[in-house]
Structure 1
Amino acid sequence: MKAVVLAAGEGTRLRPLTETRPKALVEVDGKPILVRCLEQLADLGADGFVIVVGYRAEQVIDAIGDEFQGLPVTYTYQRERLGLAHALLTVEAHVDGEFMLMLGDNVFQANLADVVARQRSGETDAAFLVEEVPWEEASRYGVCVTDANDAIVEVVEKPAEPTSNLVMTGFYTFSPAIFHACHLVQPSARGEYELPDAIDLLIGSGRTIDAIRMDGWRTDIGYPTDREAAERRLRGLDVDGVEADRVGVEAADE
């Protein structure tokens, strides 16, 4: 399975961290987000990478090079940032089978392997890592509606009134059918080619997409405070900066 990473973003909300570098190269606990993504994808069995670049692309290419951990790296260029479906189409010529897709602005400590295993089972056309978030936060994400078997029956991008609090996390597996769906997507109200719209086209064509519920955590690095929260978690601290182990010990002593 090839692994695709979308890393074209500028990261305007992360300023001043992105004033001189692209979002994907912002360091979290001493390591660029993109490097963390590639390490995890390699551990999941990727046999090569395709990285979509855009803002300050040359910095990403210089940082990663033509191979990573002995695996080949190919770059595609998204000249205009017109949505995730638009970005995904830039890799179509470089992917000829099932593949992993990771958004290059997330830090994961979660059961990604369960998603890959589900795809490799041959029983689904795609699989997504999903998580439940507070209802008041669901409108910030791509919201998933599932049936009793945890098959995804609808995806809505940033709905004003969410009908579910189950959201996509930024890690997916797909068959090449997703590319055909991306070609059919029309611009949304905000002028972008939305990945959830392509996913809904897959569902409408009878394709099966499974939701794998997250065991662990992930942090979407959108703001400097998100970076700080991810660093605390990676260091064994909770989101308030309290050592998780210490909390457990204190609780046991009470």
Structure 2
Amino acid sequence: MQAVVIAAGEGTRLRPLTEDKPKGMVEVAGKPILTHCFENLVELGAEELIVVVGYKKEKIIEHYDDAFEGVPITYTHQREPLGIAHALLTAEDHIEDDFMMMLGDNVFRANLEDVVNRQAESRADAAFLVEEVPWEEASRYGVCDTNKYGEITDVVEKPDDPPSNLVMTGFYTFTPAILHACHLVQPSDRGEYEISDAIDLLIHSGRTIDAIRMDGWRTDVGYPEDRDAAEQRLREADAVETDDDSEQADATAE
């Protein structure tokens, strides 16, 4: 599959970290957030990275050039910050079939492969990872409304009064049907073309949408304190992996 990475944002809430760089180039645990994203996507089998750039795009292009770990990179340019659905449409001419999409300001240690596998098995038009967050944080995200069976019935972007605390995490798989939905989306109250509205159109047109509960964690690096939290989580995860490797080595030696 191809993978689209949305990395056009300015990251105003991350200042002063983004005064001289786009937020995807803010370092977490010694490397840019985008490197963490690319590593995840390459591990998932991405055959091409389509990176949507905007604010200070030259910083990203100069750093990664035309490939990451042997996987080719294609860049598209979002000239105005008009939302994720708008950003995705800048990549439309390069998308050939089903694809992954990741928001380039997230650090994941989660079951991303479950989303990819579900897409392949069910042939859904969209599959995405969801998690429950504290109610007071839900308005920062695309919020999912569910029925009594736990099925997602609506998705709304950053609502003032969230209908639930179940939110999209920033990792998706789509068929090209999402592109047609993006063309139909109207600007939200924020003046942006929201990916949640495009997914909502798919839901209400009877398309198959799968939501997979997250196993693991992710940090949306929206504020400087989020960067610090992501670094702490990565240190803890690396420590656990080191301990596991040591235990396996000891068991083998015995």
Shared fold, TM over 0.5: yes
The 8 Å contact of residues 6 and 103 in structure 1, kept in 2 or not, is answered as: yes
Distance 1:100 1:151 in 2: 22
Q: TM-score, normalised by structure 1?
A: 0.91
* Cα distance change, pair 231–202 in 1 and its aligned pair in 2 (3 A): same
The match for 2:13 is 13
CA shift at 1:165, angstroms?
Answer: 1.0
Task: Give the unaligned 5+ runs of structure 1.
Answer: 238-242, 246-254
Question: Structure 1 pair 149/38, CA: closer, same or farther in 2 (3 Å)?
Answer: farther
Structure 2 unmatched runs, 5+ = 242-254
Q: Distance in 2 between matches of 1:150 and 1:24?
A: 34
The Cα offsets for residues 45-89 of structure 1, whole Å up to 9 and x where unpaired, read as 111110000011111011111111111110000000101110010
**Structure 1 partner of 2:121:** 121
Name the SS of the counterpart of 1:190 in structure 2. Answer: coil
Pair 1:32-2:62 in alignment: no
Task: Determine the C-alpha separation between the residues in 2 that align with 1:54 and 1:86.
Answer: 12
Offset from partner CA, 1:218-239 (integer Å, 9 cap, x none): 10101110000000110018xx
Per-residue CA distance 1:5-32 (angstroms, 9 max, x = gap): 0000111111111111111111000010
Greater helix percent: which structure?
2
Query: What corresponds to 2:211 in structure 1?
Result: 211
Match of 2:64 in 1: 64
Map 1:66-215 onto structure 2 (within 5 A). Answer: 66-147=66-147, 150-215=150-215
Distance in 2 between the 1:18 and 1:49 partners?
Answer: 23
Distance change in 2, residues 1:88/1:44 (3 Å):
same
User: Do the aligned residues in 2 keep the contact of 1:14 with 1:224 (CA within 8 Å)?
Assistant: yes
1:175, 1:45 → 2: CA distance?
17
Q: Does the Cα contact within 8 Å between 1:151 and 1:209 map onto a contact in 2?
A: no
**Cα offset for 1:146?**
3.1
Deviations 1:72-112 (A, max 9, x none): 11000000010111001000000011000000000011000
Identity of aligned residues (%): 69
3-state DSSP of counterpart to 1:236: helix
Q: 1:121 to 1:147 in 2, by over 3 A?
A: farther
How far the C-alpha of 1:149 sits from its partner, in A, is: 5.9
Q: For 1:173, what is the secondary structure of its paired residue?
A: strand
Cα root mean square deviation, aligned: 1.6
- Deviation per residue, 1:183-223 (Å, 9 max, x gap): 01111111111111111111111111111000111101011
User: Which deviates further from its counterpart, 168-177 or 128-137?
Assistant: 128-137
The CA deviation string for residues 92-135 of structure 1, in whole angstroms up to 9 with x for no partner, is: 00001100000000001100010010011134221110000112
